[in-house]
Structure 1
């Protein structure tokens, strides 16, 4: 009985110590300070075992077709290279700043297909790994797994050539369209910027709405940004140098100002 009491006391003290450490901020939350070796090993083991248990009974389809690998390459280049890099690709700011550091997948060898599928689909909490299954169907995730089986064998040139012939970021809906300058590993692929729209709108230098130059009779703004002149009116009005109302040139006898700018003489 005394041993049980002693054990409960130790458990209580341990819980109190942990609770106190949490309350007083003893656990460093920054991504720039690694866990201790013991804590990291505990987290790593818990993660790996949890994934293995959940992927154990998964049925892996036939993988390795050219179409699967090409599809997976396009989506990998668009969605994964910023963190996991690619053959011949230098480290990125994100890959260096995340903790735990995302693995460089092209250097690890072929992953276990079932576990790779599970991780891609469900993500990993508190690691930066998203649950891509929220936007990708299983078919496209398996295509990415097929690509991951082959990527470690590829040279940088082979990888880039494969990506260039792929469909790019395409998995049947839900895709966001990234810009080229934010897409490392996307050489030869289409841009996320759509310049080929039927009626693309070009902004001027100040970011204002474009003028409608392609209308039959577009309105032109003057230098001061005032309302456009109606060029198609039967008798257009013209502003004088000071911006005053225009003289009516169609009148038989327009009024004239005298030399001193006073009341006009009645001609």
Structure 2
């Protein structure tokens, strides 16, 4: 179990470091189907893993790879809704949660595979400025939705934050990855604290998984700065769809 957790930790950390999200898409299924722990424990465990590895992965991007104002606005907006998501989580059947997880992953993956023109948005105008009158409502709404899903499904939200920052808010991938990692750290902290009331973790498995993910995320974070935006987006979308198909099959067979 420990060796399996370490192997999956390297995979999750590598994904986070490269594309700034998607770690929990792998972490939750890996903990449930690969390591063999129940979904109730996998959700808070994944938040520890994703939060810790995201904090390490953002280090190479601290100076020029993060839109700090936007990241903090989105992160703050999601903190309150993360608690609401955790409350709803306790009321739903695990099969329903896994089916919802797969459906959201499909939508996010398809959005990232769509060919879009490189253009600015309200939060990243072509001239480099920000139209905050238009950007702020979108940023707050994005944060609220992602925060809710963080508490509900045990995700840092990166697989939604990356498409939102890139496609909805108009940030280039160079800023999207670093900003997403900061938001994931905030969301993971909020989501984990919302689960403290009924926390039952295998800390040996969680610690091993998180440690391996942190090592891989730091290495991949340095590597990812030299990969073209188009390659990152398409690779991210394909991986999300593959994992979505697997989770959907497992949910139907459960």
Return the TM-score normalized by structure 2: 0.25
Larger proportion of helix: 2
More relative contact order, 1 or 2 (CA 8 Å, 6+ apart): 2
